[in-house]
Structure 1
Amino acid sequence: MNATALLTFLVLTGIVALVSWLRTKKEQLNTLSGLFFANRKLGFIAVGSGLLFANINASTFIGENELSYTNNMSVMGWGVTAVFAMLLVSEFIMPIYLRSGIATTPDYLEMRYDRQTKLIVSLIFLINYMVNLLPAVLYGGAVGFNGLFHFSEHLQIDYWTSIWILVWIMGGLGGLYSLLGGMKAITVSDTAIGFGMFTGGLLLPWLAVKHIGGGSWQTGLQTVLNNHTEHFNSIGSAQDAIPFGTLFTGMLLVNLYYWGTEQYIVQQVLGSRDLATCQKGIALACAGKLLCPLLINVPGVLAVHLYNNLGNSAEVFPRLVGDVSPPVYTGYMAALLFGAALTTFNAGLNSASTLFMLNIYQPRLKRRKQLASQAALVASAKRFEVFVCLVAMLIAPMIIFAKGGFYTYVQKVGGLFSIPIFTIIFVGFVTRRVPPVAAKAGLLFFIVTYGITQFFLPVPLHFLHVLAILFVLTIVLMLAIGKWKPLDIPYERRLSAPLDVTPWKSRHLYAVLLILGAILLYLLFSPLGLAKQP
């Protein structure tokens, strides 16, 4: 364990924590609005950084680089094609949310369907956070840190024990950070990490190329461009982790769900000052997504030139960082990895508490006609965060037994919860007479059918295609129920916007530029570009 790298990590992590504390110490966290939404005063840089780094975490670094190493650049589809989905969300979905004055995405389902649908979806969100999202973030962070600092070797303990220890350290620190700082502290640290990632963080590919060339980046670049170029190909075949066709089926649906429905993502936006700020923040996050392949995909491709056969391919990113970087830079990347893990973990914790308090706990108090002060509600919210944190820390180490690759496991399990929710929200957006019973039937049908096809009776079809097929079938089922038993009174959208909902005037120009950037990236990483056979 290099002392310089460890010291650099501790100093940089301490600086981020200090900046977050200084920027938030005057914030009022004794109300649910302050704890969950930063009192709705976030600017576009904070919104954009919050969106990006609630999405990019240690599991992203670990998982996507692993698939780039074992497959090719096709895995970049998760991030690059998200740009199109994010722009659709910015244009069509976020205005609905902000005009409706909702605090959680299930709030919209209560308006459109009924209170039971809201409760069911809130519970699905919470289960997803506790068994999938938060454990995956902790596991990815633990794998990364063990790879960077080799804790298992230095402490002379087995690999799984080291993962347990690191998971509990990260979970404890993350939970404490969320409890003390709330949403404001999370967005401040997101901004600081974003600055660090898109400045010094982008040096990693250059360091790797230089290492491949034995100290000469020119020689390394020539080696990379003339050997193993098939790994640069983003046009995935049927045998790859992300076949190209899935970008237009389940991938699009997953991204629309994620950026337009996922509570811990949407909550970053609901703290915006107004709609224009929200749309600028989303555009900024889109620009960040186009830069991300340099850190979350390209290093995995470069690692192909250094490692023939890793025993644990999930460690490819931290091992590359440790092998090609000077100690100070290793500590720098460790700080970014740690920060990225904690920001997503904290955002998930904060949103889990938001869902529980606003959609389950408070309605229960109202039904019982019990009153509670804001201080008592905040205390209950923090206790629930501790509970969620403990559950996630218990589950996280078990992911080591997942088959088919860590990142594929995360996405496949996520599909069990995500697209069913997006499906009933989508039907709610585009219809006026589909009744609440159709939403409940749609959720049950989708979850049960998808679970059977993925975990009990596997079908010979990529899970993203399965999601798209079930999306269509569930819509047909809901429309049929709506035809058979329509609402007596058509749904009318109620507007109660607490914020200025004037759109950003330049949004269409930036949307065109961002989509053009995504297309150019696919051309660069294709047989017409870097993947061309020498």
Structure 2
Amino acid sequence: MNLTAFITFIAVTLLVALISWLKTRRHKITTSAGLFLANRNLSFTAVGSALFFTNISAAEFVGNSESVYLNNMTVMAWGVSSVFAMLLVSEFIIPIYLKGAMSTTPDFLESRYDPQTKKLVSFVFLISYMVNLLPIVLYSGAIALNGLFHFSDIWHISYGGSIWILVWCIGLVGSLYSILGGLKAIVVSDLALGICMFTGALLLAYFGLRHIGGGDFQNGIHTILSTKTEHFNSIGTASDEVPFSTIFTGMILMNLFYWGTEQVIVQQALASSNLETSQKGIALACAGKLLGPLLFILPGIIGVHMYSNMENTTEVFSRVVSDVSPPVLSGFIAAVIFGAAITSFSPGLNSASTLFTLNIYKPFKEKKGIQVTEKNLLRSSKRFEMFASLLAMFIAPLFMFSNDSFYTFLQKINAAFSIPIFTIMFIGFVTKRVPPIAAKIGISFCLIGYILTQMVFDTGIHFLHVLAILFVVTSAIMLIIGKLYPMEKPYVAQNKSVVDLKPWKNRHWANGLLLIIMILLFLLFSPLYLASA
């Protein structure tokens, strides 16, 4: 371990923590709204940075770099194409949540269907967070830090042993962040870390390209543009891990679920002061997603030109940082990776706690006739966060035994929970009379169908195409049930007038520009241009 790099890592980490403390020290958490929604007073820059950085964990750095190193840039479709889904969410879904003053996305299901559907989906979300989202954030962060500082060599223990220790270090710090600071502390850290991340990415690109060019930055650019250009291909073929055609089937559905119904993401937008602020924040997050090729994929391209054969390809990003960066930059990037893990883990914990406290604990107590105070809610939420954190820290190291590339494995697990929930949410958005029983049958059918097609039967169809098929079939089943057994009274959304619902007047111009840039990026990284040589 380089001492300068480690000192820089500690200094930057403490600086971000200090900034967060200074900005939130007068923010006393005395209510559940303060803990979960920062009292609904976030600015658009806070919303945008929180949305973007909550989405960015070490998994993005680790997974994207590995995928580009092994294949090509088709993996960029996940992030870049999500812009289209984010803009749809901004225009059509966020207004629904804000109109109903909803604290959790399952709140919509209660008003649209019934309390049982809300409780069922809340349980599915909680299972997803505790066995998938939170452990993956911890595991990817541990991989990146071990690759940067080589703790397994320093401590003279196995690779697996160092991953266990680092998982617990990240988990404990992230738990304290969420339990003590709430959502307000998380979004302040997001803003500071966002600035650090973009700075670090630009510096890493400079030093990486200079390294490839033998000390000459321009020669490095010439090298990556003239050799091994097949790795620049974002279109790819049907045999790639992420075929281009999946953008129009299962990928758009998963992106709509993630940005429109995933509690850990939507909670950031619901904490905005009004609809205009939320829409501006989402547009800002879209701009960040369009920088994905620079932030998360270029290190993988650099790795292609540096390493001919790596045994542990999950360490491509870490190896590139260690080998091309001066010690100060290595420590700086390590702090960003650590911060990314913390600011993905903490919102995940906060959102899981929100779901448990407001959708399960509070209704359970009230059903028993027990009066629930704000003090009870805060205490139960913090206890649940400690439980969820411990469970995630035990599960995270088990991902070492996955056979798929890390990013593909992550998305396959996400799909098991996302599409069943999104399907019943979608039908709830676009219909008025489909009954609660249709939602219960729909979520059960879709979940079981996905498990059977991925674990029991070999369909030979890409899992994202399978998701699209399941979405169509499940929707058809729900619509048929709605036709045969419609609700007596159609659903009517109520306006609770908690925030101003006036939309951002310039959103169409901004959204159009973002979509044009999205299309141009796919053309740039295709056989028509950079991948043509």
Task: Give the TM-score normalised by the residue count of structure 2.
Answer: 0.99
- 1:87-102 alignment runs, 5 A limit: 87-102=87-102
Q: Deviations over 1:63-114 (max 9, x none)?
A: 1111011011110001000001000000000011101111100000000000
TM superposition shift of 1:201? 2.5
CA contact (8 A) 1:250 1:467 kept: yes
SS across alignment from 2:306: coil
Q: Deviations over 1:414-453 (max 9, x none)?
A: 1010011110011011111110000000000000010011
SS across alignment from 1:304: helix
Partner Cα distance (1:273, 1:491) in 2: 27
Partner Cα distance (2:193, 2:417) in 1: 29
- 1:56-135 alignment runs, 5 A limit: 56-135=56-135
Report the equivalent of 2:405.
405
Report the equivalent of 1:368.
368
Question: What amino acid maps onto 1:333 in structure 2?
Answer: I
- 1:33-44 alignment runs, 5 A limit: 33-44=33-44
Report the equivalent of 1:179.
179
Partner Cα distance (2:518, 2:16) in 1: 31
Question: What amino acid maps onto 1:280 in structure 2?
Answer: K
TM superposition shift of 1:200? 3.4
Question: What amino acid maps onto 1:492 in structure 2?
Answer: V
Report the equivalent of 2:389.
389
Runs of 4+ in 1 over 4 A off after TM superposition: none
Is residue 344 from structure 1 mapped to residue 344 from structure 2 by the alignment?
yes
Partner Cα distance (1:102, 1:331) in 2: 41
Report the equivalent of 2:432.
432
Report the equivalent of 2:327.
327
Partner Cα distance (1:60, 1:132) in 2: 15
Report the equivalent of 1:148.
148
Question: What amino acid maps onto 2:53 in structure 1?
Answer: F
CA contact (8 A) 2:134 2:348 kept: yes
Question: What amino acid maps onto 2:370 in structure 1?
Answer: Q
SS across alignment from 1:416: helix
CA contact (8 A) 1:81 1:518 kept: yes
Report the equivalent of 1:23.
23
Partner Cα distance (1:410, 1:36) in 2: 26
SS across alignment from 1:417: helix
TM superposition shift of 1:525? 0.5
TM superposition shift of 1:195? 0.9
CA contact (8 A) 2:189 2:343 kept: yes
Report the equivalent of 1:470.
470
Question: What amino acid maps onto 2:443 in structure 1?
Answer: L
Question: What amino acid maps onto 2:247 in structure 1?
Answer: L
Residue ranges of structure 2 left out of the alignment (5+ in a row): none
Report the equivalent of 2:250.
250
Partner Cα distance (1:200, 1:416) in 2: 34
Report the equivalent of 1:275.
275
SS across alignment from 1:297: helix
Q: Deviations over 1:1-49 (max 9, x none)?
A: 0000000000000000001011111112121111111111100000000
Question: What amino acid maps onto 1:475 in structure 2?
Answer: S
Partner Cα distance (2:202, 2:292) in 1: 9
Report the equivalent of 1:138.
138
TM superposition shift of 1:458? 2.6
Question: What amino acid maps onto 1:116 in structure 2?
Answer: Q
Q: Deviations over 1:290-328 (max 9, x none)?
A: 112112112111211100111110000011000000000
Partner Cα distance (1:458, 1:264) in 2: 32
TM superposition shift of 1:221? 1.6
Q: Deviations over 1:444-479 (max 9, x none)?
A: 000001001112223211111000010000000001
CA contact (8 A) 1:117 1:439 kept: yes
TM superposition shift of 1:499? 0.3
Partner Cα distance (2:382, 2:293) in 1: 36
Partner Cα distance (2:192, 2:442) in 1: 42
TM superposition shift of 1:176? 0.8
Question: What amino acid maps onto 1:316 in structure 2?
Answer: V
CA contact (8 A) 2:170 2:342 kept: yes
Is residue 357 from structure 1 mapped to residue 357 from structure 2 by the alignment?
yes
TM superposition shift of 1:203? 1.9
Report the equivalent of 2:220.
220
Question: What amino acid maps onto 2:434 in structure 1?
Answer: V
CA contact (8 A) 1:204 1:295 kept: no
TM superposition shift of 1:336? 0.6
SS across alignment from 1:198: helix
Question: What amino acid maps onto 1:336 in structure 2?
Answer: V
Question: What amino acid maps onto 2:119 in structure 1?
Answer: L
Output the aligned Cα RMSD.
0.8
CA contact (8 A) 1:31 1:378 kept: yes
SS across alignment from 2:461: coil
Partner Cα distance (1:373, 1:94) in 2: 29
Q: Deviations over 1:471-521 (max 9, x none)?
A: 000000001111111111111122213000000000000001000111111
Question: What amino acid maps onto 1:301 in structure 2?
Answer: I
Partner Cα distance (1:200, 1:127) in 2: 34
Question: What amino acid maps onto 1:271 in structure 2?
Answer: A
Task: Give the TM-score normalised by the residue count of structure 1.
Answer: 0.99
Report the equivalent of 1:54.
54
Q: Deviations over 1:320-357 (max 9, x none)?
A: 00000000000010011011111010000000000000
CA contact (8 A) 1:263 1:351 kept: yes
The share of aligned pairs that are identical, in percent, is: 58
CA contact (8 A) 1:250 1:465 kept: yes
TM superposition shift of 1:206? 1.9
What is the aligned length? 533
Q: Deviations over 1:178-229 (max 9, x none)?
A: 1111000000000001111122322212211110111111222221111100
Report the equivalent of 2:291.
291
Question: What amino acid maps onto 2:127 in structure 1?
Answer: I
CA contact (8 A) 1:525 1:531 kept: yes
CA contact (8 A) 1:73 1:298 kept: no
Partner Cα distance (2:218, 2:16) in 1: 35
SS across alignment from 1:85: helix
376-385 or 113-122, which deviates more: 376-385
Residue ranges of structure 1 left out of the alignment (5+ in a row): none
Report the equivalent of 1:310.
310
Question: What amino acid maps onto 1:234 in structure 2?
Answer: S
Partner Cα distance (1:236, 1:352) in 2: 37
Partner Cα distance (2:204, 2:122) in 1: 40
Question: What amino acid maps onto 2:98 in structure 1?
Answer: L
Question: What amino acid maps onto 1:477 in structure 2?
Answer: I
Q: Deviations over 1:117-156 (max 9, x none)?
A: 0000000000000010000000000000000000001111
SS across alignment from 1:495: coil
CA contact (8 A) 1:105 1:261 kept: yes
Partner Cα distance (1:402, 1:298) in 2: 25
Partner Cα distance (1:212, 1:397) in 2: 34
Report the equivalent of 2:510.
510
CA contact (8 A) 1:237 1:244 kept: yes
Partner Cα distance (1:221, 1:417) in 2: 41
Question: What amino acid maps onto 1:124 in structure 2?
Answer: V
SS across alignment from 1:242: coil
Partner Cα distance (1:497, 1:234) in 2: 44
